[in-house]
Amino acid sequence: MNYELLCNKVISIVRLTGNFIRKEAMQFDLEKIEYKGLNDMVSYVDKTAEQKLVQNLEKLIPDAGFLTEEKTINREGKTYKWIIDPLDGTTNFIHGIPTYAISVALYEDGVPVIGVVYELNRAEMFYAYKGGKAYLNKKEIRVSGNPDLQSSLLATGFPYYQFDKQAQYVQLLTEMMQKSHGVRRIGAAAVDLVYVACGRFDAFFEYNLQQWDFAAGCFIIQQAGGEIFDFSGGNEYFNKREIVATNARLSNEMLSAIKKYF
């Protein structure tokens, strides 16, 4: 498998789908939204974008499986699996807030080999592939080298439908705000993660994510020299759906703070 060549083909597919989303953003009507659950919105844009991605990606690896947010396809694959979020940051998109992205990852035998995140409003294509490094619009990127929380800018996401851990999260958030340059909540985990990969954020933490939110972004961070943990400091983040993403110098301090509350 030529991962670099395959990644370039994925980038072309993602860029084409991004053109569709941009066009729809200019004429989107709030009356066209649907609700999958409490505060969990979707539109025809999400669904159509996912269909476009699936139709083109399945041509690259015909027997690959798919894990997709909008469930427009249900297919298991023996070796390969595409993990897709056609529009991460749907709430931002619906309200006209210009931060949302397409996220596509390819897993081979349960291990990530390609990650692509396209932030549409800045036309920033983040990507990585097995055997390569991490890139933003063809330029290599690296995680920051900040050594401590005191000099770091953090990112997170807020719970919007499962509030059972909200109290302890607020305690954690309070500590992080007091110990850092600040905590940002953009509203698109895929974007948060690639901003860690290129050093804009020094670390990211969030729980109760979906796998399509972070499959590509986590791999890009790892290829950019960063580290990914679950809240206990292990590597079960994919199944636990909780993420601590950081550079190696910050990891101990981040995990120590999180373990007080989770």
- pLDDT tens digits, 207-219: 999 999 999 999 9
Q: Is the per-residue pLDDT at 59 higher than 70?
A: yes
Say how many C-beta atoms besides its own lie within 10 A of residue 63's C-beta.
11
> Rounded to an integer, what is the distance from CA 262 to the centroid of its chain?
22
Q: Is the per-residue pLDDT at 31 higher than 90?
A: no
Give long-range contacts, CB 8 A cutoff, 24+ apart: 60-67.
60/6, 60/9, 60/10, 61/106, 64/106, 67/211, 67/212
User: Mean pLDDT of all residues in the chain?
Assistant: 94
pLDDT band at 40 (very low <50, low <70, confident <90, very high): low
Return all residues near 62 (Cβ < 8 A) that are at least 6 apart.
none
Interval 236-244 mean pLDDT: 96
pTM of the model: 0.95
Q: What pLDDT shows up at residue 36?
A: 66
Phi, psi of 217 (to 5 degrees): -60, -40
